[in-house]
Structure 1
Amino acid sequence: MQSALHILEHVFGFSQFRPGQQAVVDAVMAGENALVVMPTGGGKSLCYQVPALAMPGMGVVISPLIALMDDQVRGLREAGVRAGALHSGLDFQQAQAMRNACEVGALDVLYVSPERLLNQAFTDWLLGLKLSVVAIDEAHCVSQWGHDFRADYLRLNEFVQRLQSTPVMALTATADARTREDIVQLLGIADAKRFITGFDRPNIQYRVVPKQKTREQLVKFIRQEFVEQCGIVYCRSRRATEELAEYLQSKGIEALAYHAGLPQEDRLKRQRQFTRSESMVMVATIAFGMGVDKPDVRFVVHVDMPFSVEAYYQETGRAGRDGAPATALLFYGGHDLVRAMQMISEKDAPEAVIRADQARVLKLAGICELVSCRRQALLSCFGEQSSACGNCDNCLTPAQSVDATESAQRALSLVYRTQQSYGVGYLVELLLGKNDELARQRGHRDLPIYGTGKALNEKQWRSLYRQLIAAGYLAVAPHGSLHLNETARDILRGDTRFHLRLETQSAKQSSRRAQMAPHTSERFEVLRKLRKELADEYDIASYMVFNDATLIEMAERLPTTYGQMLAINGVGDKKMDKYGQQFLACLRNLEAAAS
């Protein structure tokens, strides 16, 4: 067997493993099963790629999406790895050629879909080959408690039980304790060593912004902070993605829409365009999810609130996978929260499932309403304790709160006095003494509380109701009316104080260029231009040449010799042979210009 460190350095261009990686690699190479929970961008792929190259036989990676498989295969081939994939996107001749390569030992890593392993003849053939390791990526899909449940993953247990001595790895970026236990039990690897390396992504800045004019807010955000950089904007509906993408295009921003309603050919084409672009914004539903294998996504925006912390964290994790600064921005409003609770309550599901799903929404809503560190709260949802991060909006621009117990009592009392039959909009109108005629018709004009809420404006009352829902004092019925929860009594009796979060101006993320020294930024742009030319020449995505983090290191260290270039993280032997001379010539010119 080759040394794992030798492979890491000469194939992938890194002189040492990231925290947590080596322990996983050592366990797998010792023949042990492993459950690996590592944040997106934390280096999960290397945990199975290195053993697959170091050990006799071929590594098999079970991956849920064709586009994701193809991107990873292209990236591995660029690094000099003999990699391939078997999936429904291949014609008969291509599939047969791939099988032949496996049979003669011409592949080190083979990617397959979970659906293919449901075929008995295919698994018989695969198990007849010498396998070094089997890696199940996105393993949370096996659990109904995960956020991307896939029924096909449940059948993987049958394949795993036939592997005998081949080590099995289950890998995911986000899985709470319940989901982790589900994974190992359902896959039949209860003996797996657990490697939980932490969930923190310190390079991502988390921000929550109140919804006002969301489209205009989004355009301002992109223009001020991320001009000509790649990002993902998540919307809840297919129609919203189309309309928002068109709006961004009308404002001169390169954008495409992506959703499950598009023909598969169009989805693959658009994903390929995004992967190869250095400036595109993809406006998408969650259908654009696990297939995102692009390290230079500089921002992820949610214009609609996700339904759980797990889904939110998984989606924001697609930003900044290269370790460079990135931003996760969530636009949040009371309508989002009410609508999410309504949609869940309308589901045809057992009451226990509905309550659990609503609790997940409220957990995320509670994080949106925090006045303390958002990262700290997010990590605590996964059982990880941390100190204040210094890199979220609340840390950078501390939010303020005021004791609003009396106003909260007034708001809750009005819900009760109107028979818990109305939504936020009408209740706020009653508090402000508006819609006089309708209030009179409904018999609410004579309520003692009518028109007594003028100490707060409409925006503040809406915020207060939203925060009461998020804190669990109010529930939302299917038709949108508010109901008092049992805990509302504590506020109405004065046993519990209620503090209202005041909306503040959100902190801005310094752009990538602003965080570099001026000469480094200029060099980076020159190197970026060369990278794009080479990527176009070889018909690959730019990051497959070198990612942003590698270019930034080149711009900072200015290597001008072969040895200095190989010392840059991300520069392996194959890439040095293929691209090294062009980059060295460019860097020497930059050095000469600086002297």
Structure 2
Amino acid sequence: MTAQDILKQYFGYSAFRPGQDALVSHILEGRDTLGIMPTGAGKSICYQVPALAFSGLTLVISPLISLMKDQVGALHESGVAAAYLNSALSAPEMREVIANAREGRYKLLYIAPERLTTPDFLDFACQTEISMVTIDEAHCISQWGQDFRPSYLKILDFLRLLPHRPLVSAFTATATAAVRDDVIRALGLREPFVLTTGFDRPNLYFSVEQPSSKPQALLRLLAVRTGKSGIVYCATRKTVEDVCDMLRIKGLGATRYHAGLPAEERQRNQDDFLYDRAPVMVATNAFGMGIDKSNVSFVVHYNMPKNMESYYQEAGRAGRDGEAADCILLYSPQDVRTGQFLIERSHEAADEQVDPETRRALIDRDLERLRQMTFYSTTTECLRRFILQYFGESAAVSCGHCGNCDTTFEEIDATVDAQKILSCIYRLDERRLHFGKAIVSSVLCGGKTEKIEQFGLDTLSTYGIMQDATAARVRQLIDVLLERGYLLSDPERFNALFLTASGNALMRGRDTFVIKLPREKKAAPAKGGKGGAAIAGDEALFDRLRTVRARLAEQAHVPPYVIFSNATLADMAARQPITEFEFLEVRGVGEAKANRYGEIFLEEIKSYLRS
């Protein structure tokens, strides 16, 4: 069977998505491969199709139990023999899986990296034909990535212990050029074919808000998304608890997920979300990696993440089915301080594993990433362009489809205000005093605080010279000055502000400072690629097909999207097939699912047409 035949028979697609064909072809040619593809671009197809073409077993190294369970469940639904090995299985269950694998009953075996070098598994692996080893979430092997996992370092040891090195393929959604090169080195990839398919997700609508009340802003966002499935990410466990409690008190169907919950509750809450029993999941970043829920229509970040890599990966969990989806960040300056605290604490825990020099380098790297994330949260430029440029991709000045591009801005010459801010910092430096933007803005606005009285800051010549402006407005200007390099903040000194050479030049009148401020905001509903078009013609049939899917999912004890995605139901509602042949033409319907579910869905469509 050709790769195209496998794609159609097992997965129900007549053509590969952009990038998939090239990756599959090079893997089938026996070449090590690294694929960098955004969330929802179909990375799993790139190794699952070759796995079915190879004669031997494909090992898939995956970081999370939930990911393995979902992937194996979906493969079973598609008629593919697969299994997983992780700590969720008992010892007898693990022995049974390995025994079945020895007999060649599986084409894919998912395994946690911690188990690779255990004696039992090594004994099995050294006596088995392993055609390919695939590493999912490959950025986890890079110490310079955003989600380094020491257990991934066992992978190269495992490959060296095998009598014959198999083909190696690796995939990740977010990797800068530096992380990409580190992944290639750490995995020992041999002259790999490397493909970055592009980071853009046209169906995602990005926006940033700076609300005076985050709880009220979140309730407003959820009120217009009633019944839709979404994730609310929070920076800390306490915030997860507070936000989830607030939503439940307001009568919203919300559940929660963070590492402090008992494992049984985490699993129960995750299942409630996956099975659509709870439409809103409130979670820390402990939730989500590998969650293949296709109908997430929005992701709200209640707090700003620590870096762009994490943000784009988490936001990318929306719209995996290609439907229009919203990615909304609620920003406040406090998020920056929370991020700094979390960065310092995370590296304190790793003190014994790295030397002090490396630890300092890692902290500096993470603080720079936090700075870039802050720039994204405060910029008035195109948000999509900012993201794509961060990952090294060129982009148009305006995408015409993000919160900033949908806002009408007016350019304002803020040179005088900028000079006042820079002069204040300069005068403070003359007294050998250095403060962050909260105190600087308070001085400029003529505030009367304990700090101002303690240090005699009301005697500065710049005290109160911006008293007609709000402190929030002054802080906004400071953010822009930081973003453009007129100021620097020192995280080692509580983000104290310092002039740069260009800042000094601007202060002395040798430059101008023009900014853009929003004039009015359009009501911008989510637009997108192919979102919603298919079901617009027959929403009533789409709803009936969803009901059938929900019933079948409950009977099979799997999430509804494992039966068919929303995109497949939408195509079904648009095509309205009445024969098995027509049913197989629906996008996402393979032979196994057609045999299992075809008659049920066809009867529902016929019943609808008769009525």
* TM-score, normalised with respect to structure 1: 0.94
What is the identity, as a one-letter code, of the residue corresponding to 1:194? V
Residues 162-214 of structure 1: per-residue CA shift (max 9 Å, x gap) = 45352110111111111111111111114211122111111111111113211
Residues 343-367 of structure 1: per-residue CA shift (max 9 Å, x gap) = 5578656444333222212222222
Q: 1:557 to 1:475 in 2, by over 3 A?
A: same
What is the identity, as a one-letter code, of the residue corresponding to 1:500? I
What is the identity, as a one-letter code, of the residue corresponding to 1:362? R
Cα separation, 2, equivalents of 1:521 and 1:51: 37
Report SS of the residue matched to 1:42: coil
Equivalence for 2:351: none
**Please, what is the CA RMSD of the aligned residues?**
2.3
Shift of 1:89: 1.0
Number of matched residues? 591
Q: 1:233 to 1:192 in 2, by over 3 A?
A: same
Contact preservation (8 Å) 2:422, 2:504:
no
Cα separation, 2, equivalents of 1:310 and 1:194: 19
Cα separation, 1, equivalents of 2:91 and 2:343: 44
Shift of 1:106: 1.0
Shift of 1:448: 2.4
Q: Could you tell me which runs of 5 or more consecutive residues in structure 1 were left unpaired when the two chains were aligned.
A: none
Equivalence for 1:505: 521
Q: 1:411 aligns with which of 404, 407, 421?
A: 421
1:425 aligns with 2:443: no
> 1:344-363 maps to which residues of 2 (within 5 A)?
344=343, 350=357, 351-363=360-372
Equivalence for 2:585: 567
Cα separation, 2, equivalents of 1:343 and 1:116: 30
Report SS of the residue matched to 2:116: helix
Contact preservation (8 Å) 2:77, 2:593:
yes
Percent identity of equivalent pairs: 38
> 1:395-474 maps to which residues of 2 (within 5 A)?
395-418=405-428, 419-435=432-448, 439-440=452-453, 442-472=455-485, 473-474=487-488
Cα separation, 2, equivalents of 1:101 and 1:403: 72
1:483 aligns with 2:497: yes
> 1:14-413 maps to which residues of 2 (within 5 A)?
14-163=13-162, 164-224=164-224, 226-277=225-276, 279-341=278-340, 344=343, 350=357, 351-387=360-396, 388-413=398-423
Residues 362-393 of structure 1: per-residue CA shift (max 9 Å, x gap) = 22222223333211221111221122322211
Q: 1:522 to 1:499 in 2, by over 3 A?
A: farther
Equivalence for 2:352: none
What is the identity, as a one-letter code, of the residue corresponding to 2:424? L
Cα separation, 1, equivalents of 2:147 and 2:343: 16
> 1:505-524 maps to which residues of 2 (within 5 A)?
505=521, 507-510=523-526, 518-524=536-542
* Residues 39-48 or 514-523, more deviating: 514-523
Shift of 1:424: 3.0
Cα separation, 2, equivalents of 1:169 and 1:514: 34
Report SS of the residue matched to 1:11: helix
Equivalence for 2:554: 536
Report SS of the residue matched to 1:202: coil
Shift of 1:15: 0.6
Cα separation, 2, equivalents of 1:251 and 1:527: 30
Report SS of the residue matched to 2:104: coil
Equivalence for 2:603: 585
Shift of 1:137: 0.4
Cα separation, 1, equivalents of 2:373 and 2:280: 25
Contact preservation (8 Å) 2:406, 2:521:
no
Shift of 1:481: 5.2
Shift of 1:265: 2.2
Shift of 1:547: 0.4
Residues 425-478 of structure 1: per-residue CA shift (max 9 Å, x gap) = 333332222327874554222322222213422331221223333444130445
Contact preservation (8 Å) 2:203, 2:527:
no
Q: 1:374 to 1:437 in 2, by over 3 A?
A: closer
Contact preservation (8 Å) 2:7, 2:14:
yes
Q: Could you tell me which runs of 5 or more consecutive residues in structure 2 were left unpaired when the two chains were aligned.
A: 349-355
Contact preservation (8 Å) 1:68, 1:293:
yes
Cα separation, 2, equivalents of 1:490 and 1:520: 63
Q: 1:430 to 1:485 in 2, by over 3 A?
A: closer
Residues 62-105 of structure 1: per-residue CA shift (max 9 Å, x gap) = 00111110111111101111111111111122112211211111
Shift of 1:10: 1.0
Shift of 1:411: 1.5
Contact preservation (8 Å) 1:173, 1:314:
yes
Q: 1:223 to 1:515 in 2, by over 3 A?
A: farther
What is the identity, as a one-letter code, of the residue corresponding to 1:148? D
* Residues 72-81 or 520-529, more deviating: 520-529
Contact preservation (8 Å) 2:272, 2:278:
no
Cα separation, 2, equivalents of 1:437 and 1:110: 63
